[in-house]
Amino acid sequence: MSPEGDLPLSFLRPGGTLLVAMGGLILLALLARVLLRRVLGGERYDRWTAWLEGILFCLILVVMLSLSGLQIVLRNLFRSGLLWIDPLVRALVLWLAFLGALTATSHARHLHIDVLHRLLSARIGGQVSRVLSVLSSICCAFLANGAYAFLRDEYQYGTSPFLGIPSWLTQSILFLGFGLLTYRFLVQAIWPAPRRGEP
């Protein structure tokens, strides 16, 4: 009867079972992090994740630069262009936004107002930061939940604007991103990164 029967993972309902499942996954991820750090050693774990981040950002930047560079050449020299390049590159901006927000979280470099924080002592300030990280994590969980509801609609009624890639797939970073942000803010609450004062 209900059209939701066609959805993959339709038993996960936003607001209910989804949040429970996410909580479970995040607990597992936290456990995996502890185990990995023990096996690899904290220093090597940090180096490898930094390396992975670097490669990922470079890949996206290379794709963006070469595709939009190609488009400029095609447009100005041959008065033509590939229709799928622009929407693809724009979609990559969305992905870049979330991946950047993720690294900003683990390096404690999100844009914030630093007025009251400067007045607190290091110890109390650290405790306040932990509490704020927990609150941020909760907020991101709600956003992930909203993203899931949005993606379900998009899956049913969305279009595929380019290359036959359905819109929900390019937009899935909304859910993945906020899900991972939920996890990373929790990591910050438990093992805070030193807060760098300035950009």
Partner 1 sequence: MSWLVIPLLVVLALLGTPLFVVLAAAALIAFAIAGISSGAVLTEMTRLGTSPILLSVPMFTFAGYLFAESKTPERLVRLTRSLFGWIPGSLALVAMIACAIFTAFTGGSGVTIVAMGGLLMPALLKEGFSKGYSMGLLTTSGSLGFLFPPSLGMILYSYVASQSASGMALPPGAAPEIDRLFLAGLLPGIFLIVVLSALAFREGRGGALMRRIPLREGLKDVLPSLRAAAWEIPLPVIILGGIYGGKLTVTEAATVTALYALIVEVLIYRDIPWKRIPAIAVESMTLVGGILIILGCALGLTNYLIDAQIPMQILDWTRGWITSKFLFLLVLNILLLVIGSLMEIFSAMIVVPLIVPIALEYDVNLVHLGIIFMTNLEIGFLTPPFGLNLFISSFRFGRRITEVYRAVIPFLVVLLLALMVITYWPAMSLWLPGLYGGK
From 162, 196, 179, select the one nearest 23 (Cα to Cα): 179
By C-beta, is 39 or 78 nearer to partner 1?
A: 78
Residue 170 C-beta: closest distance to partner 1, Å: 7
Select 20 or 28, whichever has its Cβ closest to partner 1: 20
Q: Does 170 help bind partner 1 (rule: CB under 8 A)?
A: yes
CB of 31 to partner 1, least distance (A): 25
* Options 132, 169, 176, 189; binder of partner 1; rule CB under 8 A: 132
Q: Considering only residues 11-50, where is the footprint of partner 1 by CB under 8 A?
A: 50
182 scored as a contact of partner 1 (CB under 8 A): no
Q: Which residue has the tokens 């079972």?
A: 17
Contact range with partner 1 by CB under 8 A, out of 18-26, 27-35, 36-44, 166-174: 166-174
Is 189 a residue that touches partner 1 (CB under 8 A)? Answer: no
The Cα-based distances of 61 to 65, 66, 93, 172 in angstroms read 6, 8, 10, 20
Residue 77 near partner 1 by CB under 8 A: no
Interface residue with partner 1, options 29, 53, 130, 192 (CB under 8 A) = 53
Q: What is the DSSP string of 105-157?
A: HHTT------TTGGGS-HHHHHHHHHHHHHHHHHHHHHHHHHHHHHHHHHHHH
Q: With 0-12 CB in 10 A as exposed, 13-18 as middle and 19+ as buried, what is 101?
A: middle
Decide: 199 and 109 in contact? Cβ < 8 Å: yes
Alpha carbons 66 and 71: distance in angstroms, whole number: 9
- Give the binding-site size for partner 1 (rule: CB under 8 A): 64
Interface pattern 56-75 for partner 1 (x via CB under 8 A) = -xx--x--xx--xx-xx---
* Contact present, 118 and 170 (Cβ < 8 Å): no
Contact positions with partner 1 (CB under 8 A) in 92-131 = 93-105, 107, 109-117, 128-129
Provide the 8-state DSSP code for 165: B
